[in-house]
Amino acid sequence: MAYTDMSSSSYKKLHMVHVNRSPLKFPAPSSSCCCKARVLPCLFCLLLCLTALCFLQATNTSHLQELAWVAYPNLAEFIQDNVLQALRDEDEGEHEVHDMCEGRYVYMYDVLAQFNADLAEECIVTGRGRCRESWGCIYCGGLENEGRGLLVPSLTEADNSTILNKNGYYYNYSIQLRPAEAWYRTHQFSLEVLFHAKMKKYACLTTDMARADAFYVPYYAGQDAALSLRCNALEVRDRHVNLFLEWLRGQETWQRTRGHKHFMVLGRQPVDLNRPIKTRMWGLPITSQPELANLTFLWKGKAFSTFIHEIGVPYPTSFHPSSDSHLKVWQETIKGTKREWLVSFLGSARRKFRHESTLQFRQELHKQCEKENDKCRFLDCTLEYKQWQIPCESEPEIVTLEFSNAVFCLQPEGDTPTRKSFFDSIVAGCIPVVFSNETAHLQYDAYLPPDPTLYSIFLNKDDIALGKDNFVQALANISTGRVKSMQENIREHILPRIIYSSPSSSISFPDSFDIALHQLFSSFTS
C-alpha cells in the first residue's frame, strides 16, 4: 500500500505564531421568540434588533470589539469559560518559526458563532437541571476537554459488568480501553470545536495575513444547526448565519480574496447545512451562500456537488492519543483481543429514517442476524440501557468495546451514507462491512487505501434486502488469511490516519488533522 508520507520529527516540533484574541460573541435568540415569531413581537426580539445595530456598528471599527451582554445563559458561559478560555490561556508567549512551515502558514479569523442559548438549554438540560441525551444535540459535557468530551470513567471489569447487567444487558468484553487517559466520550457533532482546538496549537499559525497560504474561518455552523433546525421561522433559524456573513463581508482579506484559499470546518452532514436560500426546507443555508462559493468546506461527508469545494474528513472517535506510546498500547490491545462474534451490528432497526428503504434494509439485517445468533450480535442504539440496547451517543466508548469483540462490523446507511460507526469499527480493529461506495470508499480517499478490499467487505444491498443472500454466511466464507491481512492493514496503517490526536499531543505520525490540512494545501496549490 502507498500512503502520502507527511511524518517527520521536525514537522511535529514546529512552533506556532499566535497572539491572544477574544472571540466575537453573537447574541442568542429566545426559543419562545421562535415559536411566536410569526404571530406577535416580543420584548426579546426588540432587544435583538438593538443588539444587531450594535453589532453592525462594531464591525465597522478597525479592531473587532467584544460585545458585552447583561448576562449569559448557562451553556454560553460554560463554552466561554471552559472551552474558549482554556484554548486562549495556552497561546501566549513568543515562538520561533521553522522553515518547514513555508507554504503551510494559516491565518485564523477571530470569529466564533455564539450558540442559541435558550434552545441549547431546552435541548440539553431539562427543567430540573439534569442532562438528557437527544440526537443532534451535544450532550452535557460534550464540549469539555477542547471538544473531546468527558474522559471515559476508569471502571473495573466488575464495575462495568454491574452497570451493564442491571437492565439485562449482556456484558462480554474481553479487553479494556487503554491507556485510560486517551479515551473520551466524544460526540459525533463536536468536530468543529475539536478541529478549532487543534488549529489553535497548529505549528504554522500566523497573524500576518500577507504571509498566510490559507485562511481558517472557525464558524460553528453545525453547532448552530443543532439548536435551530426545528425552528419554523426562517428569520430566526438563519439569524446567526446572516450575522456571520455580515461580519465576514467586512473583513479586508475576504474582500480582497473573495474566499479563495479560505476554509471552514462543518460538524454536521450536508443535508443539515446546504439548504437553498429562502426555501422552507430542512437545514441551514451555509454552502448555498453566494459569498461562500469560493470557500472550501471540510466535513464528514461530501455533498458531491459541482458547486461546492469540499474535502471529506473522518468523524471524531473516542480515541485521542497524546503520544506514539498511547497509539502503540492500543494497537497491541486490539491485536491480542479475543473476538467472540463473527459479526456485530450496532444501530437502530426501529426508528424512522429519511428513506423508507433504509429502515426496510436494516430490518432485514436484523432478521438475518437473529437467525444466526450464534455468530451475529445485534444491539439497538437508544438513549438508555435496556434489553439488548445501549446508549451509543452518550457513552460511545461502549461501541468501541462492542466492536472489539467482533471480526466484522456492519455499516449500513442511515439518514446519510456516512457513519461515525465506520470509524469506531476501524479504531476497534473490526473489519467494516459496507453496502454503498458513498459510505467510505468515495468519501475519504486521502485516509484510506485506494483498494477497498484491503480493509473492508462490500456486499450487495439489493440481494440482501430481497432475501437472496445471507450476509452472515457470506462473511463466514471469507478465508482466515484474508481476515488477518485486513486486520493488520486496519490496525497498523489506517487507524493512525483516521483519529484526531489530543490538541497538545507530541505524536510523530500524521493524524486526521494533519492529513486534512495536507489535502487543503494541495488543492490550493493545484
**Span 203-214, pLDDT tens digits:** 999 999 889 999
User: Is 462 domain-assigned?
Assistant: yes
Extract the C-alpha cell encoding 354: 429519511
Q: What is the pLDDT of residue 128?
A: 31
Extract the C-alpha cell encoding 216: 481558517
Phi, psi for 216 (deg, rounded to 5): -100, 130
Query: Is pLDDT larger for residue 511 or for residue 246?
Result: 511
- Tell me if 123 sits within 8 A of 35, measured CB to CB: no
Q: Is the pLDDT of residue 244 over 60?
A: yes
User: Is 521 domain-assigned?
Assistant: no
- 329 lies in the same domain as 224: no
- Tell me if 448 sits within 8 A of 440, measured CB to CB: yes
* Maximum average pLDDT range among 22-26, 39-43, 101-105, 283-287: 283-287
Residue 390's pLDDT band (boundaries 50, 70, 90)?
confident
- 324 lies in the same domain as 270: no
Indicate the residue among 252, 282, 312 that finishes a domain. Answer: 312
CATH number, domain containing residue 416: 3.40.50
Per the structure, the count of domains in the chain is 2
Query: Is pLDDT larger for residue 54 or for residue 485?
Result: 485
162 contact partners, CB below 8 Å, separation of at least 6 = none
Indicate the residue among 296, 312, 328 that finishes a domain. Answer: 312
- 449 lies in the same domain as 330: yes
Q: Is the pLDDT of residue 333 over 80?
A: yes
Q: What is the pLDDT of residue 135?
A: 45
Q: Let me know if 192 is exposed, middle or buried by CB neighbors in 10 A (0-12, 13-18, 19+).
A: buried
- 412 lies in the same domain as 272: no
- 284 lies in the same domain as 200: yes
- Mean pLDDT along residues 231-255: 86
Which structural domain range is residue 32 located in?
Answer: 9-148+186-312
- 333 lies in the same domain as 415: yes
- Tell me if 38 sits within 8 A of 233, measured CB to CB: yes
* Maximum average pLDDT range among 14-23, 83-92, 190-199: 190-199
- 64 lies in the same domain as 125: yes
- 30 lies in the same domain as 170: no
184-185/205-206 β-pairing: unpaired
- 176 lies in the same domain as 190: no
Query: Is pLDDT larger for residue 221 or for residue 333?
Result: 333
For 93, left (φ over 0), alpha (ψ -120 to 50), or beta?
A: left
> What gap in Å lies between CA 33 and CA 119, rounded to an integer?
11
Q: What is the pLDDT of residue 280?
A: 86
Q: Is the pLDDT of residue 105 over 70?
A: yes
- Mean pLDDT along residues 354-367: 80
Query: Is pLDDT larger for residue 224 or for residue 206?
Result: 206
- Mean pLDDT along residues 477-481: 97
Q: What is the pLDDT of residue 176?
A: 87
Judged by average pLDDT, the poorest of 47-51, 59-63, 176-180, 289-293 is 59-63
Secondary structure class of 56 (helix, strand, coil): helix
Judged by average pLDDT, the poorest of 122-131, 256-265, 401-410, 497-506 is 122-131
> What gap in Å lies between CA 424 and CA 401, rounded to an integer?
10
User: Is 215 domain-assigned?
Assistant: yes
- How far does CA 60 lie from the centroid of its chain? 34
Q: Is the pLDDT of residue 47 over 90?
A: no
User: Is 202 domain-assigned?
Assistant: yes
> What gap in Å lies between CA 506 and CA 9, rounded to an integer?
10
- 115 lies in the same domain as 202: yes
Q: Is the pLDDT of residue 127 over 80?
A: no
- 402 lies in the same domain as 481: yes
Phi, psi for 225 (deg, rounded to 5): -60, -40
pTM exceeding the 0.85 threshold for the entire prediction: no
> pLDDT digits over 161-203, tens only?
545 554 456 666 778 899 999 999 999 988 998 999 999 999 9
Residue 289: C-alpha distances to residues 234, 259, 274, 336, 380 (Å):
15, 12, 9, 50, 38
Q: What is the pLDDT of residue 230?
A: 74
What's the mean per-residue pLDDT of the chain? 76
- 257 lies in the same domain as 390: no
Residue 303's pLDDT band (boundaries 50, 70, 90)?
confident
User: Is 513 domain-assigned?
Assistant: no
Query: Is pLDDT larger for residue 435 or for residue 416?
Result: 435
* Maximum average pLDDT range among 228-242, 359-373, 494-508: 494-508
Judged by average pLDDT, the poorest of 13-22, 81-90, 133-142 is 13-22
User: Is 220 domain-assigned?
Assistant: yes
- Mean pLDDT along residues 147-154: 89
Indicate the residue among 279, 312, 345 that finishes a domain. Answer: 312
